[in-house]
Structure 1
Amino acid sequence: MELNSADLSTILNRLLDTAADNLRVAKILVQLGLDPNNITYDALFNRLLEIVLANITLANMFALVGAIFFVATLLMQTMVPLRIANMAGCSFFATFGALSGNVGTFLLYLLMVPINAVRLRQMLRLVRKARDAAQGDMSMEWLKPFMTERKYRRGDRLFKKGDAATEMFLTVTGRFLVKEINVELPPGRLMGELGFLTPNNRRTGTVECIDDGQVLTITYDRLLELYFQNPQFGYYFLILTSRRLLENIERLEKAVVQQNAGPQVTAASDVP
């Protein structure tokens, strides 16, 4: 056991000595073609310049430009320009592999170009769909095949505030009233979508049917699947809920203003 340890220690010492010897400045200068005993800055600069000029080939130029594009990808913060720069870098490296006769390098980077192109196309489609959802009025017709029909009569309560929320509704016919804010929901309106985003999935209001009508329902589990499968719907859903919250805030602000203005009007009417 001690003999094996001694042999291992000897081998490691020899390896370290060899590595140190190869890293000596004098040996590096000799490998560069310089005299260690007569070295000047001009001689060192001229020798490095000669090495650079000797290696300037068309293949190496393509490799240099490809390396610049790959470094650029490390500095980019968004995916679209990163994919474009990566495609450019792969194209230059593939050309380098072809000109230098390196088949492995050529095939590797050649295959990476269409992969990045497909990902870039998917990203651009996602951006375009998100922009359309933000600027336009997205139809909910495509959602109806995933929903279940349900009918309500006047006086029926769909849900009340604080109940556990498990599904979202789309009004088709009839009229429905949100009691807390006294707002009627006409056909074509979503309701119950805020419960999908609230903690513990609780209802934020009470909805009753004030005129016989029909609705379509979809469970939150199914809605969650569609949310991740269709980025356009997911983005639209976020915009829809944000608008609904902003409407509620605006309605609350108006109510506060009217409440504050009420006593002033009453006081003014008492003046003879």
Structure 2
Amino acid sequence: MSTIALFDTAVTALTTALATPSGIVALCSATLAGMLVIVSSFVKTMIPLRCLAIGGNLGFLIYGALHPSLIMVMLHGALLPINIVRAAQMVRLTRRVQLAAASNDLSGVWLRPYMRRRRLRKDAVLFRKGDAAKRLYFLAEGQIEFVEIGQTMEPGRLFGEIGFFAPDKRRTLTARCATPCTVLQMDEMTFKTLYFQNPAFGFEVVTLLAGRLFADRQRLEERLAAVTPVA
């Protein structure tokens, strides 16, 4: 009996809602929002997921406003700006990486918003050759010396990427602060999160790193050609 009564109540509520234009709009909005939520459960990447969530929030907001439900309005009114901000962040990151790849910008400055700042004193060793490569670094201030090869790096450069992406994940050089330094760092979990949220980000990063390795190889070949005596 209770099931029949529940069904009759639902039918009555549906009939009442369809009797007015606002009720029809509310039901259509809720239906569309529900479909977007269902579709989002099959989406694996973050930008489409956030876009679907925004559509669902808007649909439920309209329903909550026209078919008065304060709780629904408050809930989706709070979720909507969060989803908009997160979607905008991921789109912005993808554009930055694409622009960096197009302009052959190997500095990695586009990663700065996702990295944690760390200050180091002069002569501090950031990592040693053979250490586990758990972080990717960006030099914001100061100078880093790579001890084994005697080279110094100026600010505005990404470094530590070779060990970070190497199969054995081991550092190939020792990095020491030649001056007081400000270093930005990103751990492996943060990078993987960005990658799985937006595979385009990972693809462009791989492209940039391949460009860095190719440029390093060219410089090495030029140096070898300069020191090799002509027969």
TM-score, with length taken from structure 2: 0.50
Pick closer, same or farther for the CA change 1:133–1:86 going to 2, 3 Å: same
Pick closer, same or farther for the CA change 1:250–1:61 going to 2, 3 Å: same
Structure 1: give runs of 5+ residues left out of the alignment: 1-17, 33-47, 151-161, 179-184, 207-214, 252-272
Pick closer, same or farther for the CA change 1:125–1:247 going to 2, 3 Å: closer
1:220-266 residue CA offsets vs partner (Å, 9 max, x unmatched): 9x64469959x8xx979755543354568899xxxxxxxxxxxxxxx
Pick closer, same or farther for the CA change 1:76–1:119 going to 2, 3 Å: same
Rounded Cα–Cα distance in structure 1 between residues aligned with 2:55 and 2:90: 17
- My pick for the range that moved more, 104-113 or 68-77, is 68-77
Where does 1:167-206 land on structure 2 (aligned, <5 Å)? 194-198=162-166, 199=168, 201-203=170-172
Alignment equivalent of 2:130, drawn from 153, 159, 164: 164
Q: Is the 8 A contact 2:101 2:208 kept in 1?
A: no
1:201-224 residue CA offsets vs partner (Å, 9 max, x unmatched): 2427x9xxxxxxxx779799x644
Q: Is the 8 A contact 1:164 1:203 kept in 2?
A: yes
1:257 aligned residue? none
1:242 aligned residue? 210
Correspondence 1:123 to 2:94:
no
Alignment equivalent of 1:100, drawn from 59, 67, 77: 67
* Corresponding letter in the other structure for 2:130: A
- C-alpha deviation, 1:194, in angstroms: 2.6
Q: Does the residue aligned with 2:28 lie in a helix, a strand or coil?
A: helix
1:135 aligned residue? 102
Correspondence 1:111 to 2:106:
no
TM-score, with length taken from structure 1: 0.44
Q: Does the residue aligned with 1:101 lie in a helix, a strand or coil?
A: coil
Alignment equivalent of 1:81, drawn from 43, 48, 61: 48
Rounded Cα–Cα distance in structure 1 between residues aligned with 2:131 and 2:182: 9
Pick closer, same or farther for the CA change 1:195–1:106 going to 2, 3 Å: closer
- C-alpha deviation, 1:146, in angstroms: 5.9
Q: Is the 8 A contact 1:165 1:195 kept in 2?
A: no
Rounded Cα–Cα distance in structure 2 between residues aligned with 1:84 and 1:140: 27
Rounded Cα–Cα distance in structure 1 between residues aligned with 2:56 and 2:159: 50
Q: Is the 8 A contact 2:47 2:91 kept in 1?
A: yes
Q: Does the residue aligned with 1:60 lie in a helix, a strand or coil?
A: helix
1:15-37 residue CA offsets vs partner (Å, 9 max, x unmatched): xxx99xx6xxxx69xx76xxxxx
1:94-147 residue CA offsets vs partner (Å, 9 max, x unmatched): 1211222221122212222112112122222221222233222255799xx967
Rounded Cα–Cα distance in structure 2 between residues aligned with 1:191 and 1:63: 50
The count of aligned residue pairs is 184
- % identical equivalent positions: 24
Q: Is the 8 A contact 1:169 1:216 kept in 2?
A: no
Pick closer, same or farther for the CA change 1:62–1:228 going to 2, 3 Å: closer
Q: Is the 8 A contact 2:108 2:158 kept in 1?
A: no
Q: Does the residue aligned with 1:91 lie in a helix, a strand or coil?
A: helix
Structure 2: give runs of 5+ residues left out of the alignment: 113-117, 195-200, 220-231
Pick closer, same or farther for the CA change 1:225–1:149 going to 2, 3 Å: farther
